[in-house]
Structure 1
Amino acid sequence: MSRGQTSPTLSGKSTAAQSKSYTNYKVTLFLSLLVWAALVCLYFYGESYKVLRYVQKSITDTSPSTHHLSYSSALNVTRLKSLNSLPDNTTAGKVAKPPARVMATAPRVKQAPKARPYECIFPATDPFDPQLKSVLKVYPPLNCSKHTANIVYLENFVAKVNHSKLSLVLSDGYNFSHCWCKEIKCKDGSDKAFEYTWTSETFTESFGLQPWQENIMTECFDTRKRAISRSYFPLIRIKNETERFLKKNYQKYTAHNSPLETLSILVLGIDGMSKQHFERAMPKTRNFLLEKMGAIELYKYNKLAFETFPNVLPLLTGHTPEEFYKDWHYNRTEFVDQINEAFIWTDARKIGYRTGMMLDTYDLTAFHYQKKGFKQSPVDYYQRQTVIASSRDKLMRGNDSNCAGDIPEVTQIHDYWLQMARTFGKDRTTPFFAYSFAVRITHDDCMLAYKGDDVYHKFLQDLVATDSLDNTVIVWFSDHGPRFGPIRETYHGRIETSTPYIFFVFPPWFERKYPKLISTLKINQNRLSSHFDTYETLRDLLYFKAGEKTGGKLSERGISLFREIPKERTCQQAGIPGEFCVCGRLSKRKLTNQLQNLLGMALLDSINSFIGHRNSSTLSSFVLSKNSKHTINKGKRLLPANTSDSNVHQSSSDILSDSTSSKSRLPSEQLRKKCSPLTLLAVERVYHVTNDQLQSLKAKTYRVTIKTTPGFGLFEGLVNYKRGESGHVMGDIVRINLYRGQAECVQDPWLRQFCFCVK
C-alpha cells in the first residue's frame, strides 16, 4: 500500500470514533444543561418557598378580613433581591414592611377599611311636625291675677303690707284690720304634717322677722275678723351652728385634697317634658339658656324608667331603686332616710357644701308619692313645711293649683334659689349644692308647659341679674318625656316619652380655663347618655380635678361627661332598659290579624299575671306555625301551666325579672280579689323596631299598644317574636293613659297602673 493511500480498516475505525465522540459530547452537554436546569429550579423553588412562608406568616398574623395577598403577587415577590432581609416577625394587624429598596418595586397591598362600629341613632323627629297639630294644645301664659291677692310682701326680712292691693280682698262695708306672722314647722317624725309654733304681734304696716325664722306664713284680717289673705315665705337664713360645721368640713377637705375649684351646683328639674316639647312649649326659656347663658345641650339623652323616682334616683345616687331594694334592703313605702347616705347632697355636705332641696308639691314628688318622705331633714335647707301649708290653703289656691294667691306657685321655688345664690354664691369658700324639682305645672298634662314659659324665663333673667353665678354650674333637666295624653299615642309621642332634656351652664371663665373639659362635653352632646352619666358628672364637679381624663369604657354604666363616651355605646351598656331605648327606628309593617292578636295577647297575659290572674285567653296558647304565615296551630303556652302564683310572670328581660319580685308585694290571692282581670278590646298599634345595635337578629321586636277593659287602659310594651314560638315580653309594660280613680284599692305605685279595682 503506497504512502498516499488510506487503509479501509483504519478509515472505518476513525469514522466510528468520531461519531462516538460527538455523541458523548451531546450527552455531556445535555446532562450539563439538565444539571444547570435542575440547579436553577432548585434555586427558584427555595426562594419561592421562602416567600410563601413569609406571605403565609403575614396573613396568619393579620386579620383575615382586612388583608388579602394573591398568589400571583407572591410570585412577583420571588423576583426581588435581598429577600432574605425580610423580617420573620410581624406586628398583629399589620404586614411587616420590607426594606425601602424592596418596597420600590413591590406591589402595593390594599387594606380594606375597618368596619365602622354601630352608633346609636335617635330617630329624627320634628317638634313642629304639622301632623302634631291635632294633639297639641297651646295654652296662654299662666295668669294668677284673678286669685286672692297676696297683700304682704317681704323686703330684707321685713314683712310689709301692700295697702294698694287691699281693695282686691275687702268686701263692701268692711275694712282692713291687721296682719300677723306665724312660724311653720314640720311635726316631729313626719314629712307630711306641719304645725304653727309661734305667732307674732299684730301689725298694720310692717314687722321685722327674727334671724332664725325660716318658714313664715302671714295672715291678714278684715274688721269682722275674717281672713282675707295669706302669704308664704320660705327663707334662706344664716345658721351659725351649721356654718361652723360646714366650714370645718370645707377646711379639712381643701387641706387634704387641694381641689382646683369648689363650684356651687344648682340642679333644676321639671317633670314630664321631652326635649322636643321643651323646644315647642318653652322657647323663651330654652333660647335664653342657649343664647344668653351659653348652655350646652345633650342631644342623645335617654330616660331610664317610666316614672320620676327611678329616673331621678340614678341622677342623684348613681343607683337604681332595685339595687337599693336588694343591697340596702330599702322599703319603698317607708322613709327615704334609709338611703339618704347615698345621695350626692350627703357627699357635698361632708366636704363643706351648704345643701338645699325645694319641691313644689306635698304629695306628687319622687320622695313622697306612695312614700313617707324624710323623717329628718335630708339637707341644710329644706322648706317642706311651707310647701305643705301653702298647698292646703283653700283661700289662696282657688281653682288653679298652679297659683298661690295672685302669684305662680313655682315662683316660691325660684325665689328660694335666688336667695341661695345671693347668700352663698358670690364667695368661693361657701359653695352650695341645691336640688329642686317642679311637678305641678306639667305632671298631669305636658301641654300646660306653655303656661310656664314666661315664669321660667323671668327666673333665669333674675338669676343672671343676681351677679352670683360666677362660681355656679347649673344643670337644667327633666326626668322623662310625656307619659300620658293624646300626644303619647302618636309616633312622635313614642319617641318623646324617652327623650328628656338636659342642659349644662358653666361660669363664663370655665371654658377658657378648662377648654379640654368643655370640648369633651361637646363631643358627648352626640353620644348616648343618661341620668347615670349626669351623676358621674356631678361627682366630677364636686371633687374637681382637671387633669388628663381617660376615655369612657363600654363596661361603665355611668361615664362622666368630661370623659369621652364611646360612639358605639349601646343602651344595654348604658344601663337603659330595652323598652325605653330610642336607638332604633319604628316602622309600620303589614301583619296578619293572627300575628297582631298574638302580640297583643302576650302583653295582656303579662299584665294579668302582674295582678294575680293567669293567662286570660286560650288565644295566648297558640303560636304561628313555621310552615305557614297565615295558619295558627296549638303550641306552647306563654306561661307554663305549672307556674306558681308567687312567680307567675317570667320575662325574657333580666331587668324585669329582677324588679318584678321587689315590686309585687301583695300575694296573688289578694290581688285577684282586689283587681279585675283585664280583657283585650283591641290591638291599637304595632310598630316593628329596627335597631342596628341589637345583639340578636334571630327574633323580631315589636312595640305593641293594646286597649283593655274594664277601664279602657292603654298599655304599651316590647314583644319579641320568632316564628314557631310564642311572643315574649321584653322589660316593663307601661300604661300610657291616666288611671286616676281606678286603682285606689292598691297602694303599690307600680301595680296601680295595671289594677282596675273590683267595685
Structure 2
Amino acid sequence: MTSVTVDIHLPIRGKKRMLFGTSKLRMLRHIPFGKCHGRRMMGTVFFMLATFGIYHFTTVTTVVDITDRVYISPSHLACQIPELSVKNPEIYHLFHPVDPLRCEPEADWVQVEGSVATITRQARKKHGGDIECAFTEIIRVDDDTSRNGLTTTTHDSFTFVNTDFYKVSCEAKDGEKWENVIAGIRQDEEVMEKTGWSKVPKEGLGVNMIVFVFDSLSRNTFIRTLPRSYEYLTETLGAHILESYNIVGDGTPQAIIPILTGKNELELPESRRRMGNSAQYVNNFPFVWHEYAKSGYVTLFAEDQPHIGTFNLRLRGFDSQPTDHYMRPFYQEIFPTYGDNPKYCLKGTPRHRIFLDYLRNYMTVYKDKPKFAFALHAELSHDDYNLINVADDDFHDFLQFLKEDGHLDNTVLAVMSDHGHRFTAVRKTQQGKQEERLPFVSITIPPMLNKKVPTAVVNVRLNSRRLVTPFDMNPTLLDIVKFSGARLGQVTDRGISLFSEIPPSRTCSDAFIEPHWCACLTWEKVSTKEERVKQAGKAIVHYINTYTAPQRSLCLEISLHKINWASKLLPNKGLLSFKKNADIDGFVPDMSGETNITQEVYQLQITTNPGEAHFEASLTYNLHQDSFSVKIDDISRTNKYGNQPHCVVKSFVHLLKFCYCREPPPRPIVQEP
C-alpha cells in the first residue's frame, strides 16, 4: 500500500491566536490520505490550501508502508528520553556545510586493491612510461614502535605478504620521484588456515559482525552532518536506530570498553600508564574478538588517531597484536607527516578514504570467510562537529559497496558513535548536554536472520525504543558466535543482548547509569490550574481540530472540558549540575555546573466534548520562543471511541480516535475495529 504524506504548516490567526495569549502554537501536520490517487488527491490538497489559509506547503513525499515495522508508544517506558529536535534553533545555527578537502592535485602513483598494489597507468603515461617502485615492509614491534623489513622492487605490481603496511619509494623515467605509505590486506596463509565457516560453532548465528564507530557524534549530529549516509542506512538498508542508547561514562574508553569487554575500566586489570610498572598491557582484557578468533573468524581492529587511541592515551596499549589485522602501525608511521601533507590528506587521497578502503579491502579479500571488525574513526569529528560532513559521500559509497557486493546478505552491521560532543559550543546548551549522552547507534540485520531467529529480530526492533547502554552491546556481539536465545531480559542484568527483549521498566539505576549521565527525564507533577498547563490543554484541542479540519463536513470541532492531570518532564538534577570530570581518568564528576533549562516536556490528560473523549498527549514547550509543539503520534485516545467516528471508519481511518461525527450513526452500529 502506498500512502501520501503532506507536511503543512498552519498559522494561528484572529480569535484562535488570541485564545493562546502570547504563546504561538507551531505545528507540523502529517495527514495520511490512504488510497488517494491522481486528481482526487490533488483536489483534496488544493481544497485544504484554499480553505485554511496555509502559508507553507513544504513537501509532498511518497511513503511505502512497512507492514512488519514494530512501533511501541514510549509512554509506557520507565525511561522517557527527550525528543530533541534536529533543527533546534539554539543549536542548529552552529552547523554549516564545509568545503571539500583539497588534496594534492596529482593522483597517487600506486593504487591498492585487496592484497595487490599497482603502479597506475596514469602515472606511467605522465612520467615517461617506466616507473620503478621499492616497497619496504613496516613491521610492528609494539604499539609505539615499528621497524623496517624487507624491500622489494617492481615496475608493475606488488602483492602484500608479511604485513599490511609498506613504505613506497618510486622514481620515474623522467626523473620525478614519489613517496608514500600504503595500506592493504596481506595474503596470510596462517590466517586462511585457521579461519572459515566450517570452524564457526553450530550454536552461532552464522553471520559476520562489523562495527563502525565515529567519534563524538550525537544521534542528531549524525543526522545533521551525514545526511546521505543516514538516509541510506534508514531507507535502503532498513537499519534500526537505537533512540534511547545512553552512555555510561565520560569519553571514548568508557564508551568502548564495555562494548568490547562487558566490563568498566575499574573492573579490569590495572592498565593506566601513570601507574608505572604495575600497569599491565590491555591484552589481558576479555575482548570479544578473542571469542570470534576461537570461532574461526578473521578479526580486525582499526583506529585512525594514534596519539589519542582508546587503549593508548591513558592506558598501556597492546603488547602482542590484538587482532589478525590491526591498523595502528600504519597511523603511527604517517602521523608525523601530517604537517607535510594537505590538511586531512595523505598525498592525493583524503585520510578518511584510506581508512574506509582498508575496510573495503578486508571485506573483499575475506569475502568467503567469517569476519569480525571493529573500526573507530575519530580525526574528522573529535574536535569539530561540522568537518565530518566531508566524509558523507565516501561513507555513503562504502555502505553502498557493502550492500551491492553482497556483504550485507550475511552481516550484522552496527554504525554508531561513542558519545556526543563534549567540548564545543553545542555542549553548552541544555539540548547539547542531553545529546552528549545520546550517541548515534544503528543496527542493520541481514534478511537471513528474519528466517533463522525471527523473535530475536523483533526484539531488536522493540529495543530501538528501550533504554540501551554500551554494556548491552557486549552480549549482543557474543550472541553472534554463541546465540543464547531470544528471551525476556531481566531488569537486574547490567548487560542484555539486543536479541533479547529489554524490559520497558528498565531505569538508569537498573542499567548502571549514574544520575549525571542519565538522559531519561524526571517526572514532576504540576497543578492543572497553572496558566501554562491551561495553554497546553488548549494547544492539544486546537491541534486535534486542525487535524480533523479537512473533514469538517463530517467531524465536529471539539472543545476542552477538563484537564484531568498534568506532569512535566525535566532532565534530572545530576545532568543539569554536571560540569566536567574532576579527575584525569574520568571516574569522579565535578557537579558544580548550572545548565539553563530551555525546553520543557508536558504530558496532560484531558477530557473533550462532545463525547467525553479522553486524550493523553505530550507537548514540548520552548521557553525562548514561548511556544508549544506537538506531533500527532504523541496524542493517544485513552477511552473507547465506540461508534463516535462511524462516518470516517471506511474512508479516513487516521481520524478514528479524533472524530466525533456530525450525524448519528446508522443502524446497525459500526463496530470499532
* Fold conserved between structures, TM > 0.5: yes
1:319-398 → structure 2 map (5 Å cutoff): 319-324=263-268, 328-333=269-274, 337-394=281-338, 397-398=341-342
Question: SS in structure 2 opposite 1:266?
Answer: strand
1:134-192, CA deviations, whole angstroms, 9 ceiling, x for partnerless residues?
A: 3223313x323446642211356443333535899x9xxx9997432111112x3x212
Measure the CA separation in 2 of the matches of 1:394 and 1:550. 50
The residue number in structure 2 matching 1:416 is: 358
How much identity, in percent, do the aligned residues show? Answer: 26
Mean Cα deviation higher: 311-320 or 335-344: 335-344
Match 2:112 to one of 146, 151, 154? 154
- Who is 1:749 aligned against? none
Q: Judge conservation of contact 2:111–2:120 (CA < 8 Å) in 1.
A: yes
Which structure shows the bigger proportion of residues in strand conformation?
2
1:504 corresponding residue in structure 2: 443
Residues in 1 aligned to 2:366 and 2:129: alpha-carbon distance in whole angstroms: 42
| Residue 555, structure 1, aligned to residue 507, structure 2 | no
Confirm or deny that 1:132 pairs with 2:69: no
Q: How far does residue 408 in structure 1 lie from its aligned partner after superposition?
A: 1.6
Q: Paired residue for 1:278? A: 222
Q: Give the superposition deviation at 1:410.
A: 1.7
CA drift at 1:232: 3.1
> 1:469: how far off?
2.7
Return the offset for 1:195: 2.3
Counterpart AA for 1:561: L
Partner of 2:479: 540
Instruction: Provide closer, same or farther for how the CA distance between residues 156 and 422 of structure 1 changes in structure 2, counting only shifts above 3 A.
Output: closer
| 1:308-355 superposed Cα distances (whole Å, 9 cap, x missing partner) | 01110001111101111xxx3443557773444400001111122111
Match of 1:567 among 493, 497, 504: 504
Q: Which runs of 5 or more structure 1 residues have no equivalent in the other structure?
A: 1-115, 588-598, 612-654, 664-677, 693-759
Q: Does 1:469 align with 2:408?
A: yes
Larger-gyration structure (1/2): 1
In the alignment, structure 2 segments of 5+ residues that lack a partner are 1-74, 525-573, 603-673
Cα 1:340–1:138, aligned 2, differ >3 Å: closer, same or farther? farther
Residue 144 (structure 2) pairs with residue 192 (structure 1): yes
SS in 2 for 1:357: strand
Correspondence for 1:183: 137
Aligned-partner Cα distance in 2 for 1:225–1:118 = 70
Which residue of 1 is the match for residue 388 of structure 2?
449
Following superposition, the deviation at residue 196 of structure 1 comes to 1.9
* Number of the residue aligned with 2:79: 120
Q: CA deviation at 1:470?
A: 2.0
Give the letter aligned to residue 217 of structure 1.
Answer: K
Please name the residue that 1:219 is paired with.
169
The letter for the 1-side match of 2:441 is I
Question: Match of 2:54?
Answer: none
Contact kept in structure 1, 2:257 and 2:265, CA below 8 Å: yes
Give the Cα–Cα distance (whole angstroms) in 1 for the partners of residues 580 and 203 of structure 2. 56
Residues 267 and 341 (structure 1), Cα distance of their counterparts in 2 relative to 1, 3 Å cut: same
Structure 1 residues 155, 497: CA separation in 2 closer, same or farther (over 3 Å shift)?
A: closer
Which amino acid in the other structure matches residue 185 of structure 2? I
Q: How many residues align?
A: 476
Alignment partners' CA distance in 2, 1:606 and 1:233: 39
Tell me, yes or no, if structure 1 residue 432 matches structure 2 residue 371: yes
Query: 1:210 Cα deviation (Å)?
Result: 5.5
- Look up the SS of the partner of 2:516 in the other structure: helix
Q: TM-score with structure 1 length normalisation?
A: 0.57
Q: Which residue of 2 is the match for residue 207 of structure 1?
A: 157
Cα distance in 2 between the residues matched to 1:688 and 1:294: 34
Shift of 1:435: 0.7
Q: Distance in 2 between matches of 1:291 and 1:606?
A: 39
C-alpha distance in structure 1 between counterparts of 2:481 and 2:311, whole Å: 23
Deviation at 1:686, TM superposition (A): 4.4
Match of 2:242 among 284, 293, 298: 298
Higher relative contact order (CA 8 A, sep 6+): 2
CA drift at 1:579: 0.8
Note the C-alpha offset of 1:573.
Answer: 0.9
Where does residue 519 of structure 2 map in the other structure?
582
Residue 443 (structure 1) shift? 0.7
Aligned equivalents of 1:433 and 1:551: distance in 2? 27
Q: What RMSD over aligned residues (CA atoms) do the two structures have, in Å?
A: 3.7
Q: Please name the residue that 1:407 is paired with.
A: 349
Confirm or deny: 8 A CA contact 1:518 1:562 kept in the other structure. Answer: yes
1:269 corresponding residue in structure 2? 213
Which residue identity lines up with residue 136 of structure 1 in the other structure? F
**Against the structure 1 CA distance between its residues 691 and 371, is the aligned structure 2 distance closer, same or farther, given a 3 Å change threshold?**
farther
Q: 1:242 aligns with which of 191, 195, 203?
A: 191
Find out whether 1:486 has 2:425 as its counterpart. Answer: yes
8 A contact 1:144–1:405 mirrored in 2: no
- The one of 300, 309, 324 equivalent to 2:253 is 309
Does the aligned pair in 1 maintain the 2:143–2:328 contact within 8 Å? yes
Which of 233, 238, 241 in structure 1 is aligned with 2:182? 233
Task: Give the C-alpha shift of residue 221 in structure 1.
Answer: 3.8
3-state DSSP class of the match of 2:296?
A: coil
Deviations 1:525-571 (A, max 9, x none): 111111111111111122135x5x33111111111111111112111
From the superposition, tell whether residues 322 and 689 of structure 1 become closer, same or farther in structure 2 (CA, over 3 Å): farther
